[in-house]
Amino acid sequence: MDLFDQKKENRSLTSIIFEKIREDILNKKYKLGEKIVEAKLAEELGVSRTPVREALKQLELDGLVENIPNRGVVVKGITTQDIEDIYLIRMEIEGIAAKWCSERMNGEELEQLKEVYELMEFYTFKNDVEKCFELNTKFHEIIYTATKSRYLEHVLRDFQIFMKSTRSESLRSEGRLDTALNEHKLILEAFLERNGDKAVERIKKHIDSSRLNIKKIKSATEK
């Protein structure tokens, strides 16, 4: 990772390091309870300790790490309960997004949503999980943008980041790609009809279906 090349994009070094560590935590590069040594991390990244320290403070605010007296910064990560909570919160907030989207979405955004769905169909047929995951994310992000609410969009995009590895794991489970495709088809149809109530019902059902699927996966792996 060339941090200094990314710095040329006018992003602060602290924000780049924050995103790097957050991704590593969410991708389980660090184990729960593992200590993150500020000096060691700064050396690995080839930066001073100051931006690393600031990044760790931001991660603590996000609840991903904890600074424990006499021990230092340790990884908290995302627990099974956190995942359940995020899905339930997301289900309600995406319901609001679906309602606003059905009212505020313009023709261009609706066409974008149709195009993404058609690509999802193609890559589901090819059983390309990585591409389907990418398109799944894009499908939902078009909805967020179409709400014309920057605050709602910000919250939901954050949830997408936190759930990245979990959602990828869910899509890899047997039969989930086909099920998810059908759920997105029903959501798209509701938007094409400009039926807000139907869009809310279908997007909430889709997220709950994802929640139940990942719950089943977690239960099986914890046995």
| Confidence (pLDDT) at 80 | 85
Fold classification of 80-222 (topology level)? Four Helix Bundle (Hemerythrin (Met), subunit A) (1.20.120)
Backbone φ, ψ for residue 163 (5° rounding)? -100, 10
Looking at every residue in the chain, the average pLDDT score rounds to 90
Residue 217 pLDDT > 60: yes
Q: How confident is the model at residue 39 (pLDDT cuts 50, 70, 90)?
A: very high
Q: In what order do the strands lie in the sheet with 65-68?
A: 35-36, 72-75, 65-68
| Confidence (pLDDT) at 222 | 61
Contact 136, 178 (CB under 8 A): no
Residue 5 pLDDT > 70: no
Q: How confident is the model at residue 1 (pLDDT cuts 50, 70, 90)?
A: very low
Q: Which of 49, 42, 48, 139 is nearest to 98 (CA)?
A: 139
Query: Average of pLDDT values for 188-205?
Result: 97
Residues 6+ apart with CB under 8 A from 123: 131, 132, 135
* Both structure tokens of 139: 């499908």
Q: Which of helix, strand or coil describes residue 35?
A: strand
Residue 11 pLDDT > 80: no
Backbone φ, ψ for residue 67 (5° rounding)? -95, 105
Q: Which of 102, 89, 117, 113 is nearest to 180 (CA)?
A: 117
> CATH for 3-75, among 1.20.140.10, 2.40.160.40, 1.10.10.10, 1.10.287.130?
1.10.10.10
Query: Average of pLDDT values for 160-164?
Result: 84
Q: Which of 63, 75, 64, 65 is nearest to 32 (CA)?
A: 75
* Both structure tokens of 72: 């230092």
Contact 222, 102 (CB under 8 A): no
| Confidence (pLDDT) at 221 | 66
Q: How confident is the model at residue 159 (pLDDT cuts 50, 70, 90)?
A: confident
Residue ranges per structural domain of the chain: 3-75, 80-222
Residues 6+ apart with CB under 8 A from 13: 3, 7, 47, 51
CA atoms within 13 A on the CB side of 44: 11
| Confidence (pLDDT) at 8 | 43
Q: How confident is the model at residue 95 (pLDDT cuts 50, 70, 90)?
A: very high
